[in-house]
Amino acid sequence: MLGRVLWVGLLAGLAAGLATAVLQHVTTTPLILVAETYETAAPHQHGALPGQHGALPGHGVAGAVVPGAVLAGRALPDGAVRVAHNHGTPAATATDASAAAAEADEGWKPADGWQRTAVTALATVLTSIGWALVLIAGMLIAGDRITVRNAIGWGAAAFAATGLATGLGLAPELPGSAAGDLVARQIWWIGTAAASAAGLYGLLRLQSIGARIGSLILIAIPHLVGAPHPAKYESTVPAELAAHFAASSLALTAAMWMLIACAVGMIWERSAHRA
């Protein structure tokens, strides 16, 4: 049984992850590329808009936000923008030097182009494999038959817990957006996803009124506590772009869960027929 769980999770996650990576390439990736022009232009061009004073977009493919990366609460930043910003003044030179030093401190990151695309796709596939294994484990522990129909129901609940509930407090963010403390956001995200999943299970599976009321309270607790937010809301990204990205990311998360659920159900049923 364990071997079957592992290889079904691997195959389903691989298939769903590759499909999700393609969707990322045409949905969230272009938005990240645009946001990076604003993020890079802001500190070097003294408030100038991208496209002024020589802001030059890079030619590579930007990394996209994968569902697992929401633990960090931000998009995956990378150097997709090259900006000509040296105005010949000491202040500009000092700013350039400090920016270069900060970029060097970040360590290795994939270069624009195929390398960045490959790393993003790999992260998406690994995340999908992990979620596929979680989905299979949950259904087995609950005693549900693993079919396409049942898996889709579990996938919808998983999206509600890891996408909608967490996004209500911590919306997907583009590079250049204001954000709270990273560790605090990660703790809140994990706690909210776990509490929402447990609460949904109680609402859908438990019959007593007290248990259902307790489940509703469990779902509400993380939002009553509140997600960690920055002291000041400042962003270099236009509000329209940020809203578009948040909506696209939620839709992408929903698509990922449906792809995982369908793949798990179909592969599991096919393996049962062969056995």
- The phi and psi torsions of 124 (rounded to 5 degrees) equal -65, -45
pLDDT at residue 75 greater than cutoff 50: no
- Residue 161's pLDDT band (cuts 50, 70, 90): very high
Instruction: Name the more confident of 102 and 36.
Output: 36
- Residue 238's pLDDT band (cuts 50, 70, 90): confident
pTM comes to 0.75
pLDDT tens digits for 169-220? 998 888 777 777 889 999 999 999 999 999 999 999 988 999 999 999 999 9
- Residues near 233 by beta carbon (within 8 Å), at least 6 away in sequence: 178
Domain boundaries, the chain: 2-274
Tokens representing residue 262 in the block: 């369908």
Residue 183: C-alpha distances to residues 37, 138, 210, 225, 228 (Å): 27, 27, 34, 16, 10
